[in-house]
Each structure stands twice: as C-alpha cells, then as structure tokens.
Structure 1
C-alpha cells in the first residue's frame, strides 16, 4: 500500500468526528418536549424549558420558575460491511443529556432567564477488531450551551426575545489500523491517528411570540450559526502525515467547525378546555458545512503543505416536521403525544449513518402541588434502513445500516 493512498484515506478517518457535530443535532432540550415529539416548542411555554426554543415566550410566566431534567438516549445501531459480511453491533453507546432552566419576570414589560443545554453532540464506539478501524473507531463530541436571555412584551399580543450563548465544545477521536494492519506491520487494534481538543465559542438567538387570542399563538425562533475554533492535539501514530515521519509525533492542529443556524416556526391552539393541538417546522442550515480542514505548518497531507487533513462534505439544508396534541385530564394530570419526521442532513458515513428519522412520542405532567410538577416523556425513534459506500484503507466498501432508539426523561418544574 503506497504512502499516498495511506494519507489520502485519512481524511474520512478524521473527518467523521466533526461530521457528527454538523450532521447530528441533539433534539433533547425538554422532557415535556420529548413527550410531544417537540411539536409546538416555540409557542407552548408550559415550563421554563421554553427558553431554549424561544426566549420571547418567557412573557407568559407571571412568576419565577425553575426546570431541570435528565434525558436518556438509548440507541441501537448496527452497521454491516456487506462486501465482507462483518457487522458491528450497537455502535452508539447510551447517553445522558441533562438540561436546566430558570426564568423570572423583572416587571410588567421585561423578563430574564438562563438556560444550560446541549444542541450538538454524539458518540460512537466500534469494536477494535472492526475491519474498518481507520474509518470508525471511537468518536465523541460534547457541546454545552450556556444561554442567558431577555424578553420584552411589546403589547398584549407581541413579545420579543434575545439571547447570547457561551458554547463549550469537547472532542475526542481514535482510529485504528483494522483490516489494513498488515500494510503497517501492526495489529488491527493499533492506533492510526488520534485527535483531542476543546474550545469556547459565542453565539446569539432571537425569538418572537404573537398571541392572536387566549387560545391561539405562534412562535418564531432563530439561533445563529456558531463557529467552533478547535486547537487540538493531533497525533500521527504511523508517521505518514507529520514532517519527519516519526511514529507517534504530535502537533497542534487548528480546525474550525461550523454549528449551523436553525429556524423554527410553531403554532399552538386550544380546541376546548381539555384538548389542544400544536405543531412545528424546524429548519437547519446544514449546507454551510462544506469542508473540514485542519492545519499545522509541520503537516503535509497528500501534497497539501501545512494541512493535516482536508475533506469535502456533502450536506444539504433539512427540515423537521412535528405535530402533537395535549389532553388536560384534570388539574393534576396532563397527557401529550406527538409525531415527527426528521429529514436526513448529510451523506451517510460509518461514524454517522444518517437517514430520515421518525418520532413516536408520549408524555405526561403530574401537578404534585401548586408549586411543584413533574414531567415524563418517552419517544420511540426509527430510521430508514440505508446502504452507502465509503472509502478507506481497504478501498471502497459497501455498507448497510439499521437502527432505532428510545429517548426517555424526567423533569422537575418548580414555580416560586
């Protein structure tokens, strides 16, 4: 195997980490939202978690409220190399997603609130003996958004909101030789490359709430694009990218990653005293994610000086459609349900075998006392069975993927 081929195939190995960040969006910001497939999130405002989806809706609260939730994502994804008949089972480990929110009226016109949640993140873990270890080893991306907001009530019908975000990102990546270990005189579990780094970034969001009447309202929310500027440790375990050809050499790699902008439109309608319907259209500007390029003056990637790796990406803007219903059974119990279609964002890879996803959700709220309530939500999420090709150290290979997931959570809401 030539050094040129070895280097050329590393782009996909490294890029998969950040393709996760751009192509996989964390939709678990609220447990009550899980129970309705996030239908109507920018307009409902039934607890403080609405801050993450539309700060303007804080004006619907007469007193301060605190909401804190924990959501569990249990994913079951199997990926098969159909050319060699090898399957990696359950490649996405279980993940816990916490979120906390607090809001408070300042006076009759102004509100403030703060949110802490995640909007992007993913983890995959393939077996060390998987033949395509150069494309699919261990990948982790975690982001945390600390998001203070203010809201202003323009009049009885219109409210506006604005927020700033301090976003923390942490990324880790390991790739292995896999089935190409013989070409390197190594073992399949030997590392090929590693990368690790963290960073902080800033962003902003803006929202509006228009209350047509006591029974009908609409919400709009825009969260701006944010660029994460990673300065991470890049290790060339096989000595084929960093100048000098020394195995295990490490340099600082500079990499900018775009977290795409999002826009949501939501509606909410009370049909009577017990039933309500709600819906959302959620847009993500995936098309801004066009390439991945890490740089260092000591790197030479396939003839590209000062480049540790480079890879073009194929992503398109995508929509998410959700509809749900809420049933108020009594003063103590409220039930909800929802359906959603989450469109595929980008070309599938081993690290993110992306496809259209379908949400089937149910949830409930128990009003324990005048001040304290509890939410529970459960979503069954299915994805299309897909086939795709990817090129690595073993050449171009055909893959297939099947998967589903359960998302569950509990949340406490306390009104002061």
Structure 2
C-alpha cells in the first residue's frame, strides 16, 4: 500500500512537468511544411513555381498560371523521400537514429481552359505533414516518442486573363488533417514500475476545414513572367481520443476522453520569376514566406483532464516567420529532353528540440522532362537536402538537462506523368 501511495504522489506532483515537456510537430526543413508538390518543381528545387506554368501542377502554387494552357492538362506525380536524421545525446540511451520515417507523397492536378480568357482546375495534394519517430525506450521518453501529422488539400480553382499582361486566379481548399502523438516513460520507468517503452499517454484526432488561395501572373512578354501567390492560413480543430495511461497525469484515475487540439496551418506567400533567355536556356527563382509566428503552442484540452484545469497536454513553441530562397535553370537539350537544376535555402522556423529537430536545409536538385509525343510527357527529379547540424539543450522530467545534436539529410526522388488532351 505504501508503494502504491508513493506512486500516486509522484504522478500527482509531477503531472504539470510531464505535460509541459510534451511536444508534437513534424520535422521538415521548416516546421511541418511540405514542399513536395510536383516532380518538375523538384528538379529545379522548386524555383519559379508561381511563374513557370509548364505543367498542370503549377495551379497548386499559383492558380493564375492556368491561363497559360491552351489545352486541358493532367499531371500525376509520386515522390519518395528517404530521411536520415539522427538525434545524438551523451549516450546510446539518449540517442535515436533515423527519426523521420521515409514516405511516399502523391499529388494530382487537372487544368481545363474554358475559352481564351478563363480556365478552371482541381488539385489534390498536401502542403503540410510528415512526422518524427524516436525509439520507444529513448531515455527522455517524455519529450521523445512519435508524432505524425497527415494532411490532404482538395483545391478547386478558377483563373481569368484580365489582359495580355495580367491574369488573376483564386481557389478554395477543403483540408483534411489527422494527427497522432505517443509519449513513453523512458528513464522514468523505474519510478512507476513499468518498462521504458511503456506509454505515458497517447492522442489522435482529425478535422476538416476550409481555406483559400489567390494568385496573379504578370506576362511581361512571351519570354518573361512574374508570379505572386498567397495561401491563407487554416485553423484546424483536431478532435479525437486522449488516453492517460498513468493515473494522475491528466485524468483522475487515468483512462480515455475526447480532447480537442487547435493546430494552425500557416499562411504562405510566394514571389517567382521565369525568364527564357534564348531558345534553349531559361532561369527561374522564388522567394517563399511562411507565417510560422502563428504557431505558439501545441496543446489538447478536455473537461475530463481536470488535474490541470482542463489541459490534457501543453507544449509552448518558439516559432518565427521563415523564408525559402530558390534559384534554378532549365536547358533544352533537344526537342525531346529538357534538363533542370536548382539550389534552395530553406530557413528553419523554430527552436530545435528532440521532437522537432528543425534545421536550415540546403537543396541540391536536378531533373529532366521527356516529351514522348504531342500529348504525353514525363518528369523525373532528384534532390539532396543537406540539413545543418543543430546543437541544443533540452530538459526532460526523467533525465534533467541534456545536450543534443540533430544532423542528417533527405534524399528525394520522384516521377510524374503529364497528359494534354
């Protein structure tokens, strides 16, 4: 009986510390944003995406580019990334390798010109997602564990050419999102009579929400275009099941309840340029801004989490608006083959932590387009994302302060089929 009382007392007095140590986000170049929305773009490090308009995928970045199409067009892509990101502490128990699971990212787009001035389109793709997965017996299990965010964006859009120099576009987005979080005892397992890989808590939830995007395309002449686009932020309200596996952390007596988490998908603005210098060579560039300062905390709440005043878990975040800079080139090798290359700097958005190893990323990309005939073409892309080494200190309830280093890279490959009707 004395041991049981001691366990309950320990859980009660440390509940707030456990909750404040929990983190949930996804690891990518900046926060939990995805840039893998086309293979043609992948080959040029996504430089010029709001202005190039060489396939139906461009409507996802800038709906105004749909006025460039004289025939209906479809693009379907599949991108695979293999991530090798390691978090290293001062021992094997405080380290975890390959913490970002490799993934396939599909996307599809359709553009249909209605007349010489107007076009409509539909995109099915993702702007945000990915996840982290540290080993279950990671010593700082209360700040490690696994986290996942999955989103799908269904984006119908319309574009109108105001005059030969200016086109405008707008779209609405129906966004589906699903999130999941699991945290473990790690080095605190002995205090609670359980295994290091045992769960402290878990949560999963989903939501549907609406958003919108707009764009403008400025055609200076047949060889020079500028694009400007804006995608509004979306406020998700993920609702799902929160489970307290340790009575005294959040729910008296433990158990499960319905909990709600507010997760923002930040606004994005992009400026791009495309310049066909001669009949073989073109350059393109982009500056993309993301309003990460809107992301201030990750938390979930329920009236059943009465131990902490309705808070099931809470993790303050330190995020600032970030920029992505890209430059690329295209070379027409022959009538059938177009070569691409690009470089980009993806600035980190937030403080680096065990569960969010956010890092500056440098993209080195190459790719090609193969024109099979007047209707079919195929894109292939390859990119190496070199992520900066980040050293940081983080506090775990069970292991106190520890120094960590996050380092690694992503290898990204993709293929895309394009058809013009």
- The normalised TM-score by structure 2 is 0.94
**Partner of residue 28 from structure 1, selected from 33, 36, 42:** 36
Spell out, residue by residue over 1:34-92, the C-alpha distance to the aligned partner (whole angstroms, 9 max, x if none): 00000000000000000111000000000100000000011001111126774211111
Give the superposition deviation at 1:299: 1.1
Q: Distance in 2 between matches of 1:116 and 1:405?
A: 24
Q: Are 1:204 and 2:209 matched, yes or no? A: no
Give the superposition deviation at 1:159: 0.1
CA contact (8 A) 1:283 1:319 kept: yes
- Correspondence 1:323-338 to 2 at 5 A: 323-338=327-342
Partner of 1:361: 365
Q: Are 1:396 and 2:391 matched, yes or no? A: no
Shift in CA distance, 293/176, structure 1 to aligned 2, threshold 3 Å: closer
- Correspondence 1:338-353 to 2 at 5 A: 338-353=342-357
CA contact (8 A) 2:252 2:306 kept: no
Partner of 2:319: 315
Spell out, residue by residue over 1:207-237, the C-alpha distance to the aligned partner (whole angstroms, 9 max, x if none): 0000001111100000001011111100000
- Correspondence 1:80-95 to 2 at 5 A: 80-82=88-90, 86-95=94-103
Equivalent residues, number: 411
Gaps of at least 5 residues in structure 1 are: none
SS in 2 for 1:316: coil
The runs of at least 4 aligned residues of structure 1 exceeding 6 Å deviation read 18-22
CA contact (8 A) 2:11 2:247 kept: no
Could you tell which deviates more after superposition, 252-261 or 76-85? 76-85
Could you tell which deviates more after superposition, 21-30 or 46-55? 21-30
CA contact (8 A) 1:72 1:94 kept: yes
Give the superposition deviation at 1:245: 2.4
Partner of 2:77: 69
**Partner of residue 249 from structure 2, selected from 241, 244, 251:** 241
Give the superposition deviation at 1:4: 2.9
SS in 2 for 1:181: helix
Shift in CA distance, 23/235, structure 1 to aligned 2, threshold 3 Å: same
SS in 2 for 1:7: helix
Q: Distance in 2 between matches of 1:400 and 1:325?
A: 35
Shift in CA distance, 21/404, structure 1 to aligned 2, threshold 3 Å: closer
Shift in CA distance, 230/186, structure 1 to aligned 2, threshold 3 Å: same
Partner of 1:48: 56
Q: Are 1:413 and 2:418 matched, yes or no? A: yes
Q: Distance in 2 between matches of 1:103 and 1:351?
A: 39
Spell out, residue by residue over 1:129-166, the C-alpha distance to the aligned partner (whole angstroms, 9 max, x if none): 21122221122111000000000000001000000000
CA contact (8 A) 2:150 2:177 kept: yes
Spell out, residue by residue over 1:259-301, the C-alpha distance to the aligned partner (whole angstroms, 9 max, x if none): 1000000001011100000000000000011123321112135
Give the superposition deviation at 1:21: 12
- Correspondence 1:139-154 to 2 at 5 A: 139-154=147-162
Give the superposition deviation at 1:20: 7.7
Partner of 2:195: 187
Partner of 2:5: none
CA contact (8 A) 1:385 1:400 kept: yes
- Correspondence 1:136-175 to 2 at 5 A: 136-175=144-183
**Partner of residue 10 from structure 1, selected from 19, 33, 51:** 19
CA contact (8 A) 2:87 2:407 kept: yes
- Correspondence 1:211-222 to 2 at 5 A: 211-222=219-230
Q: Distance in 2 between matches of 1:168 and 1:21?
A: 22
SS in 1 for 2:95: strand
Shift in CA distance, 133/388, structure 1 to aligned 2, threshold 3 Å: same
Q: Distance in 1 between matches of 2:28 and 2:11?
A: 29
Q: Distance in 1 between matches of 2:27 and 2:252?
A: 29
Give the superposition deviation at 1:317: 0.5
Partner of 2:259: 253
CA contact (8 A) 2:244 2:251 kept: no
Q: Distance in 1 between matches of 2:337 and 2:127?
A: 29
